[in-house]
Amino acid sequence: MPSDWMKRYIHVKNLIFFLSIVMFFWLAWYFYTGVGGPMELVAHLVPIALMLQILHMHQNAYLYKRLSPTVNRILVVIYMGICLYAFYHFHVEYEQISIYRQGSYTREDFIMGLLVFLLVMELSRLAHPTLFWTNVVMVFYTLYGYLSPLDFFWHPGTSFYRVVTSSTVELSTGIYGIYGQLALTLIAAFLMLAGVAEGFNASNAMINVVRLLARSRRLIPQTAVLGASAIGLISGSGSASSAVVGTISIPLMIRYGLPRVFAAAAQTSAAMGGLIDPPMMGAAAFLMAEFLGVPYWDIVLRGFGFSFIYYISIGVAIYLLSVRLLPRGPIDKPQVPLYQKVTTAIFFGSVAYLVVLMGFLGKGELLAAVNTASWMFAVLMAVFLYF
């Protein structure tokens, strides 16, 4: 029966997989060719990214828990329709909007922009209420800045039409602006490295291998420092580093006698170094290179120095506290499979390969990141099949 076939194959999980495949190959094609430039890329892929976000939120838990499942599904379909409309409109009118109609948009441009603007605001309200209310305050201030009693904050205000167009159809600012373009170009290319490593569970393998370096109780907390510094190389995120490494390092530190508060603090302080850990540097390196007009590698090269100083300082501070809190004594070495050792070697080899491509061979950031991710995927796949 057609209905049975639809229920079996057309559901949220498969739709997420399909959209992810479309986005992955679209990005890979752009990374190798650069066709259309970042503006056209973001005009097409932002609606797809929004659809993925909507589907993930619907899959994990209904968007509106107080409403019935049927109403939630209807709203998801409406939101997806807005994204498809935005995709179609930009696909058909991209050249007109980006070149010929700059500053003089049609009614349809405004309607499309308004729908996307309201959709993004609603998604931010559901996912990040603090960010939503911050945006509301900023929009109000943009509209009614002339009401400010302080001269420093006074401005003549602007129209709601201008707020919507500057946030959407103007491709230099707002949702489709420079931050979205950076996210879908440089940042996405480097996140492919993190995705490949996570897909083969290389992060957990690396943490287990790092534990082999701890030969005494007092060195156990250093697993948090070494693990966080390694995860930060590809994630550039303190929260991601804390989530990945902390699930292993914090219980390990508690098991060997460290106070719970100290274990959590040690992991948090080490994980925050991921924000300055090259080559990602919490996306700050990409913004610095863009605004300063300097090569990305120049930023990364200087970032290594600050990252080294930070982790050395954190490591020494944690070790001195460990000497006071823990007794001296050897510990049993964990049993680490050969597969995890090889995976860890491939992980660090990939980071070294990325540095060689950008720093010594002069490859561009996008091409270097994609080539490294492709190399890592091929080698990890071969190792996985072998073991």
At 329-347, the pLDDT tens digits run 766 676 778 888 888 888 8
- Residue 307's pLDDT band, with cuts at 50, 70 and 90, is confident
DSSP state, residue 281 = G
Please compute the mean of the pLDDT values over residues 228-252 and round it to a whole number.
75
Q: Name residue, tokens 């850990």.
A: 277
DSSP state, residue 333 = P
- CA distance linking residue 244 with residue 227, whole number of Å: 9
Contact 163, 143 (CB under 8 A): yes
Residue 19 identity:
L
Q: pLDDT tens for residues 11-37?
A: 788 899 999 999 999 998 998 888 888
Q: Which residues contact 60 (CB under 8 A, 6 or more apart)?
A: none
Of residues 273, 260, 266, the one with CA closest to residue 303 = 273
Please compute the mean of the pLDDT values over residues 155-178 and round it to a whole number.
91
CA distances from 225 to 206, 290, 338 (A): 13, 30, 23
Q: pLDDT tens for residues 140-154?
A: 999 999 998 888 889
pLDDT of residue 7: 60
- CA distance linking residue 214 with residue 332, whole number of Å: 9
pLDDT of residue 81: 96
pLDDT of residue 325: 84
Is 55 a residue whose pLDDT tops 90? yes
pLDDT of residue 235: 67
What does the block give as tokens for 171?
């491709």
**What are the residue boundaries of the structural domains of the chain, listed by start?**
2-176, 188-386
Contact 214, 186 (CB under 8 A): no
Q: What is the pTM of this model?
A: 0.78
- CA distance linking residue 206 with residue 211, whole number of Å: 9
- CA distance linking residue 326 with residue 257, whole number of Å: 7
Please compute the mean of the pLDDT values over residues 366-383 and round it to a whole number.
87
Q: Name residue, tokens 């060719």.
A: 33
Q: Name residue, tokens 């943009």.
A: 142
Q: In terms of DSSP H, where are the helices of the chain?
A: 2-9, 12-33, 37-60, 69-95, 107-127, 129-143, 160-167, 178-182, 188-199, 202-210, 222-235, 238-255, 260-271, 284-292, 296-325, 338-359, 365-386
